[in-house]
Amino acid sequence: NAGVTQTPKFQVLKTGQSMTLQCAQDMNHEYMSWYRQDPGMGLRLIHYSVGAGITDQGEVPNGYNVSRSTTEDFPLRLLSAAPSQTSVYFCASSAHREGDSPLHFGNGTRLTVT
Amino acid sequence: SQQGEEDPQALSIQEGENATMNCSYKTSINNLQWYRQNSGRGLVHLILIRSNEREKHSGRLRVTLDTSKKSSSLLITASRAADTASYFCATPFGNEKLTFGTGTRLTIIP
């Protein structure tokens, strides 16, 4: 049982490059979300989805796009990477609405933008 | 956005001792969750306590919730080296979002 799988584990980008962080879950969870974790800032919500075809913005959405074409996958796209996007990114899923149900996290993608 | 805040920011104790960390939040909630994060890994859910519950147990973990004071505590009894991790409280924001505090970094000294 894989749970939430994130790829890649590490990535280095140059300013201005674009890339997609992949997230897949095999638990048939409706709710998925992306967080970034920075030292001293805790986790901040970037985007979330309550089901296939439905996405919404979180606390820090600028510079990121998401889509949810299937229940299983929720990729996060960085359109034009900036050094301020250097962070650890976590994908999470939950069976019910996120505020009322435990989150299952992936192991993260550590992104460095130079 | 609403956010829980953990206290203390860091805690070091001897193996076998109990560890207590606290979380305060700002507005009324219907539940509060605690998570653990080992170094370099994702967060792992520990306990969810609802607003109509005052206390909840899971193994060596005990969580309390005081809605009148808008605070929660996580007690880890008989600590082990493997409990070394960061611990986060999380509270709902709106119907569909969960917000996290900045965490308590717990170190168990063997």
- The bridge status of strand B55-58 relative to strand B71-76 is unpaired
B9-60: per-residue pLDDT in tens? 999 999 999 999 999 999 888 899 999 999 989 999 999 999 999 999 999 9
A37-88: per-residue pLDDT in tens? 998 778 999 999 999 999 999 999 999 999 999 999 999 999 999 999 999 9
- B59 to chain A, any CB pair closer than 8 A? The answer is no
The minimal CB distance from A103 to the residues B31, B94, B98 is found for B98
Whether A105 sits inside 8 A of B42 (CB atoms) is yes
A8-41: per-residue pLDDT in tens? 999 999 999 999 999 999 999 999 999 999 987 7
Residue B94 pLDDT greater than 90, yes or no:
no
Residue A1 pLDDT greater than 70, yes or no:
no
The pair of structure tokens assigned to A87 is 């962070």
Residue A100, pLDDT score: 77
Most B CBs within 10 A among A98, A104, A109, hence the mutation to make, goes to A98
- B93 to chain A, any CB pair closer than 8 A? The answer is yes
- Output Rg (C-alpha) for chain A, integer angstroms: 13
Q: In which region does residue B40 sit, left (phi positive, over 0), alpha (psi from -120 to 50) or beta (all else)? A: left
Q: Work out the percent of chain B whose per-residue pLDDT is above 70.
A: 95
Residue B36, pLDDT score: 97
A67/A13 Cα distance (integer angstroms): 22
The minimal CB distance from B96 to the residues A41, A97, A108 is found for A97
- B39 to chain A, any CB pair closer than 8 A? The answer is no
Higher local confidence (pLDDT), B52 or A97: B52
Residue B91 pLDDT greater than 70, yes or no:
yes
Residue B95, pLDDT score: 67
Beta bridge partners of B3: none
Whether A43 sits inside 8 A of B44 (CB atoms) is no
Which long-range contacts link A55-60 to residues 24+ away (Cβ below 8 Å)? A56/B96, A58/A33, A58/A34, A58/B97, A59/B1, A59/B99, A60/A36
**Interior CA angle at B41 toward A64 and A93, to 5°?**
55
- The owner of tokens 């960061």 is B86
Q: Using an 8 Å CB-CB cutoff, list chain B residues near A50.
A: 96
- B104 to chain A, any CB pair closer than 8 A? The answer is no
Residue B107 pLDDT greater than 60, yes or no:
yes
Instruction: Tell me which residues of chain A, numbers 52 to 111, contact chain B at a CB-CB cutoff of 8 Å.
Output: 56, 58-59, 90, 92, 97-108
Higher local confidence (pLDDT), B81 or B95: B81
The minimal CB distance from A48 to the residues B91, B96, B103 is found for B96
Q: Output DSSP code: residue B67.
A: T
- The bridge status of strand A87-94 relative to strand A31-38 is antiparallel
Q: What is the nearest CA distance from B5 to chain A, expressed in angstroms? A: 10
